[in-house]
């Protein structure tokens, strides 16, 4: 009998081979300037590459300016190609691959005012847009769908031209493509609404178009929800339908996440938000109203004691039903967790907080220096997506704010 795969073994995902199976999850870095990557972003992902990951994911790269939820997120346009190239070069120099999480917020635009109504699966009141006056959303027409599909394709082509090895289409957490998949948002009466098969049609169409455009050279991934975690939300049975449709559309691998930014952050993180830290950071930035709103949202959260590998039961259900590569995500804390996920048939493991806490964790696992992450799942880091120096672990020294004021490709 051959030995089971190890998380340190290489793996092939479509046209891409990774040196090992550890992937840094897309986690909003807040390291850009006018939608352009900064030196801080370059350092962060360069550190992850030298720290041993097989691939790192640059979070939330919006395919259109109004697709950002916060102003400090990347907006994909030809103008930033030199900065994207500097970023991919830094990661490749560290021996890792790099993935671009391309996305559109749809009606989930919390930190900017969008001209007119935000787009979504359906029309109506938009609770997520209240802070910046995006009170109303409108249902996308077929023309909107064509335009957004073209925006995803253009973003994927730009990522490929900049040297990214993979693109990850964000279809979870409540962003635009998830607004189609989730029955919490999608009440359409046409062929894009109703059954789980219908709800995934538009996201699958976007993925197929991206695959056709860049799939020869670039791995095409999608991040989906194993479930929304709330009543009336998408279930694991829906996720199985979604996974099958995305496999048919050509996905090279699915990253299995869960939860929604508005309704169920506790489900996404397997633990409560850190209300105190969020309010502290937002107040420092003068965002009093947002701080108040966050306090109210956090107060309504379900108290969830953290559990390692908190999506495992859901993810196993999907693993049993589809045969495309799947990446396990959610509460990986130790080498033993990673080994278990691989031994259960997941092709990769995806980590956010453990790698935010220690960018060299994979090398430390490999050398035996550490068997477990020191991250205590306090969720303090989530507050720093609002900080001008960028996201960081509260246990680590502060980031250098100067690095976040210089474009990635600027000559030193
Ligand atoms: C500070 C922070 C920012 C995040 N931002 C994003 C994001 O931009 N896109 C995304 O898909 N997930 C985001 N996430 C969620 C993570 O990718 C991941 O799904 C979640 O943290 C669970 O994985 P973990 O248990 O390994 O941390 C973020 C997480 C953290 C901690
Ligand atoms: S702030 Fe640090 S210790 Fe707390 S959850 Fe984030 S990475 Fe882990």
How many A from CA of 378 to the centre of ligand 2? 5
What's the pLDDT at 303? Answer: 78
End-to-end CA distance of the chain: 54
Q: Whose CA is nearest to atom 8 of ligand 2?
A: 375
Q: What is the pLDDT of residue 1?
A: 44
Interior/surface letters 172-203, b for 16+ CB within 10 angstroms, e for the rest: bbbbbbbbbbbbbbbebeeebbeebebbbbbb
Q: Is residue 226 included in any domain, yes or no?
A: yes
* Cross-strand partners of 169: 102, 222
The rounded distance, in Å, linking the Cα atoms of 380 and 401 is 18
164 is a domain residue: yes
The atom number, within ligand 1, closest to the CA of 356 reads 31
Specify the CATH number for the domain of residue 265: 3.20.20.70
% of the chain residues with pLDDT over 70: 99
Taking only the tens place, the pLDDT of each residue in 342-377 is 999 999 999 999 999 999 999 999 999 999 999 999
The pLDDT of 86-93, averaged and rounded, is: 98
* Total tally of structural domains belonging to the chain: 1
Give the DSSP H or E segment for 320: helix 312-321
175 included as an active-site residue = yes
CB 22 within 8 A of CB 391: no
Whether residue 141 is contained in a domain is answered as yes
Ligand 1 in reach of 256 Cβ (< 6 A): no
Average confidence (pLDDT) over 95-123: 94
Would residue 228 count as lying in a domain? yes
Query: From atom 18 of ligand 1, which residue's Cα is the shortest distance away?
Result: 352
Tens digit of pLDDT for each residue in 252-300? 999 999 999 989 999 999 998 898 898 899 888 888 877 877 777 777 7
CA distances from 84 to 8, 39, 61, 249, 357 (A): 28, 11, 11, 27, 24
User: What are the angstrom distances between the C-alpha of 262 and each of 129, 296, 391?
Assistant: 11, 12, 20
**Residue in the block written with tokens 């041993």:** 52
- Asked if residue 111 belongs to a domain, the reply is yes
- Give me the domain span that covers residue 229: 11-405
Check pLDDT > 70 for residue 3: no
388, part of any domain: yes
**pLDDT, position 288:** 81
CA of 350 to the centre of ligand 1 (A): 10
- pLDDT value at position 2? 55
Question: Across all residues in the chain, what is the average pLDDT?
Answer: 95
Q: Is residue 2 part of a domain?
A: no
Residue 128 included in any domain: yes
Q: Poorest-confidence range of 57-61, 238-242, 303-307?
A: 303-307
Ligand 2 centroid to residue 354 C-alpha, Å: 7
- Average confidence (pLDDT) over 95-113: 94
Instruction: Name the pTM for this structure.
Output: 0.97
């Amino acid at each position: 009998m051959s030995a089971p795969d190890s998380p340190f073994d290489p793996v092939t995902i479509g046209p891409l081979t990774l040196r090992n199976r550890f992937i840094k999850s897309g986690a909003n870095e807040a390291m850009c300037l006018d939608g352009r990557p900064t030196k801080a972003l370059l350092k962060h992902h360069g550190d992850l590459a030298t720290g041993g990951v097989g691939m790192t994911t640059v979070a939330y790269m919006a395919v259109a300016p109004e697709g950002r939820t916060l102003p400090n997120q990347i907006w994909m346009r030809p103008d930033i190609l030199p900065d994207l190239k500097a970023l991919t070069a830094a990661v490749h120099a560290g021996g890792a691959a790099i993935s671009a999480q391309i996305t559109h917020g749809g009606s989930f635009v919390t930190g900017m005012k969008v001209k007119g109504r935000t787009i979504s699966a359906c029309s109506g009141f938009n609770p997520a847009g209240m802070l910046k006056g995006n009170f109303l959303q409108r249902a996308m027409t077929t023309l909107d769908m064509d335009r957004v599909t073209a925006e995803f394709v253009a973003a994927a082509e730009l990522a490929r031209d900049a040297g990214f090895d993979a693109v990850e289409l964000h279809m979870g957490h409540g962003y635009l493509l998830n607004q189609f998949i989730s029955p919490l948002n999608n009440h359409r009466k046409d062929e894009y609404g109703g059954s789980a098969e219908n709800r995934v049609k538009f996201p699958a169409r976007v993925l197929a178009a991206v695959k056709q455009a860049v799939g020869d050279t670039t791995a095409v991934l999608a991040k989906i929800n194993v479930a929304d975690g709330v009543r009336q939300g998408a279930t694991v049975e829906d996720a199985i339908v979604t996974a099958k449709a995305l496999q048919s559309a050509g996905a090279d691998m699915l990253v299995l996440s869960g939860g929604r930014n508005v309704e169920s952050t506790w489900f996404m993180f397997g633990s409560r938000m850190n209300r105190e830290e969020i309010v502290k950071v937002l107040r420092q930035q003068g965002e009093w109203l947002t701080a108040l709103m966050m306090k109210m949202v956090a107060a309504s959260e379900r108290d969830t004691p953290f559990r390692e590998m908190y999506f495992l039961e859901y993810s196993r259900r999907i693993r049993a039903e589809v045969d495309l590569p799947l990446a396990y995500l959610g509460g990986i804390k130790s080498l033993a967790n990673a080994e278990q996920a691989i031994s259960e048939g997941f092709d990769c493991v995806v980590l956010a907080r453990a790698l935010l806490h220690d960018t060299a964790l994979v090398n430390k696992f490999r050398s035996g220096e550490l068997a477990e992450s020191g991250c205590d799942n306090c969720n303090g880091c989530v507050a720093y997506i609002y900080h001008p120096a960028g996201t960081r672990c509260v246990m680590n020294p502060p980031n250098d704010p100067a690095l976040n004021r210089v474009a990635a490709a600027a000559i030193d």
